[in-house]
Each structure stands twice: as structure tokens, then as C-alpha cells.
Amino acid sequence: MSDASAPSERYRQGMATRRAVLGDSHVDRAQSASTEFDSPFQQLITEAAWGHVWSRPGWTKRERSIVTIALLAALGQDEEVAMHVRATANTGATREDVCEALLHVAIYAGVPAANHAIKIVKQVYAEMDAGRTA
């Protein structure tokens, strides 16, 4: 008989990938802040985003990081942009990679979206350079 509350293999893979990209402290904070209300959402993103998409073999974590930052910038998801820029320390995406991604955002999603994302990215890099994490 299987335990219905046991995490699925996709969840376990997702958690490993999520930790590798975002870092243990970020994931631990997210888990400790999880409530009964958002627990299903946390499970969904761990399995779907991290266990399925981010764990696929076709692209490197660096490549996924670059694309993710561009998409989040285009969508105006400021907090997520900042989180994924901090994650570049773990994915190998360089500042040059992020700059190139934001140039694409400017052309394909609009200058205001790229301009706003650049402001966020510069702030995150300044925090990273100063040894601070948010």
C-alpha cells in the first residue's frame, strides 16, 4: 500500500532542482511560509515548473535562467525577475547573458518593460556585489 501523502518522484526531482537553482535558504523560507491555503500551489510549482520543465535535459540551467529572466521581465514580474537574477549565481548565467536577454525584451516586449527590468537587475547586482541577499 502506498502512502498518499508521500511526495511523488517528480516532486522530489523538482525540489532538488529548485534548491540547486534558488538555493536552500530561499526554498526553506518558502516552505516555512507555506500554509494549508497555498500548499497545493507550492506542490504544483515544485512538480510542474521545477520537476518537469526546469529538470528537462534539453537545456542547461544557464539557458533556462536566461529565458526565464526575459519572460518575467516582459511580463513585468518584478519580484520574480529579482529572484531569478539572484539565482544566476547558481545557474551560470552571466551579467552579459542577462543584458542580452533584456535587449531582446526591449525589442520584442517593449522598451518600458526592459527599462524597468534593467532598474531591478542593477539593484539586485548591487546587493549581490555588496554581499547582501534579499
* Cβ count within 10 A of residue 55: 17
Please give the chain's pLDDT, 134 residues, in tens.
455 678 899 999 999 999 999 999 999 999 999 999 999 999 999 999 999 999 999 999 999 999 999 999 999 999 999 999 999 999 999 999 999 999 999 999 999 999 999 999 999 999 999 997 65
Whether 101 and 69 have beta carbons less than 8 Å apart is answered as yes
Q: Which residue has the cell 526575459?
A: 70
What pLDDT shows up at residue 3?
57
Instruction: Supply the pTM of this predicted model.
Output: 0.91
Distance CA 71, CA 68 (A): 5
CA 129, 20, 49, 31 torsion: positive or negative?
Answer: negative
pLDDT value at residue 134: 53
In sequence order, what DSSP letters do the residues of 43-93 get, joined into one string?
HHIIIIIIIIITT-SSS-HHHHHHHHHHHHHHHT-HHHHHHHHHHHHHH--
Burial class (CB in 10 A: 0-12, 13-18, 19+), 19: middle
Model pLDDT, residue 117: 98
